[in-house]
Amino acid sequence: GAGGVTIGIELTYLRSVFHAAKQLWKMPIDLNVIAETRASIKYLGIRTKSTERDRRPTANEVTLICEWFNAKGNRQKVPMPDLIHFAMATAMRAGEIINLKWCDLNEIDRTIIIRDRKHPQEKMGNDQEVPLLNDAFTIAMRQPRTGDLRIFPVTDGTISSLFPRACKAQNIIDLRFHDLRHEGVSRLFEQGYRVEQVALVSGHKDWKMLARYTQIRAKDLHRSEK
pTM comes to 0.75
pLDDT, residue 225, reads 54
Distance CA 125, CA 173 (A): 37
Domains and CATH numbers, the chain: 4-43 (no CATH), 59-214 (1.10.443.10)
Is the model's pLDDT at 115 over the cut of 90?
Answer: yes
pLDDT, residue 222, reads 61
Is the model's pLDDT at 49 over the cut of 60?
Answer: yes
pLDDT, residue 203, reads 87
Tell me which of 103 and 7 has the higher pLDDT.
103
**Range with top average pLDDT, 114-123, 165-174, 195-204:** 165-174
**Range with top average pLDDT, 14-18, 19-23, 104-108:** 104-108
| pLDDT grade for 148, boundaries at 50, 70 and 90 | confident
Q: Which of 72, 36, 30 is nearest to 166 (CA)?
A: 72
Contact (Cβ atoms closer than 8 angstroms) between residue 7 and residue 48: yes
192 contacts: CB under 8 Å, gap ≥ 6: none
Is the model's pLDDT at 206 over the cut of 80?
Answer: no
User: DSSP assignment, residue 78?
Assistant: S
pLDDT, residue 122, reads 55
Is the model's pLDDT at 35 over the cut of 80?
Answer: yes
The mean predicted confidence, pLDDT, of the chain is 87
Question: How far from 199 is each of 130, 172, 203, 206, CA to CA, in Å?
Answer: 10, 30, 5, 8
| pLDDT grade for 79, boundaries at 50, 70 and 90 | very high
Is the model's pLDDT at 145 over the cut of 80?
Answer: yes
